[in-house]
Amino acid sequence: RKEVEQDPGPFNVPEGATVAFNCTYSNSASQSFFWYRQDCRKEPKLLMSVYSSGNEDGRFTAQLNRASQYISLLIRDSKLSDSATYLCVVNFYTDKLIFGTGTRLQVFP
């Protein structure tokens, strides 16, 4: 079983739609959680951290369920510029990150 699992997609949604991505992780001792964004043929960049109480950054909302070992990302009012691959990332111990394979999002006009 992979340590971090994501639905690879692609998710094809129209502009203005709401879309949600899910991610599960296998190690219950995981400490920190993140969503990274990777544009085609570019490097990954941090989108947002994920906190136990849930957190929001503009149109993006991240949720964590430690009991189910489940992380989610919700994007509201999708823009064309949101088209990218979204990587679920887990930190098991200091400084080493485990990356999911990513979920591809394509927003169309």
Partner 1 sequence: NAGVTQTPKFQVLKTGQSMTLQCAQDMNHNSMYWYRQDPGMGLRLIYYSASEGTTDKGEVPNGYNVSRLNKREFSLRLESAAPSQTSVYFCASSSTGTGTQYFGPGTRLTVL
Residues near partner 1 (CB under 8 A): 8, 32, 34, 42-46, 49, 87, 91, 94-97, 99-102
In terms of CB distance, is 55 or 91 closer to partner 1? Answer: 91
Torsion-angle region of 58 (φ positive above 0: left; ψ -120 to 50: alpha; else: beta): left
- Cβ atoms < 10 Å from Cβ of 13: 17
Q: How far is the CB of 49 from partner 1 (least distance, A)?
A: 7
C-alpha to C-alpha distances, 4 to 12, 49, 76, 82, nearest whole angstrom: 23, 16, 24, 22
In terms of CB distance, is 60 or 99 closer to partner 1? Answer: 99
In terms of CB distance, is 78 or 84 closer to partner 1? Answer: 84
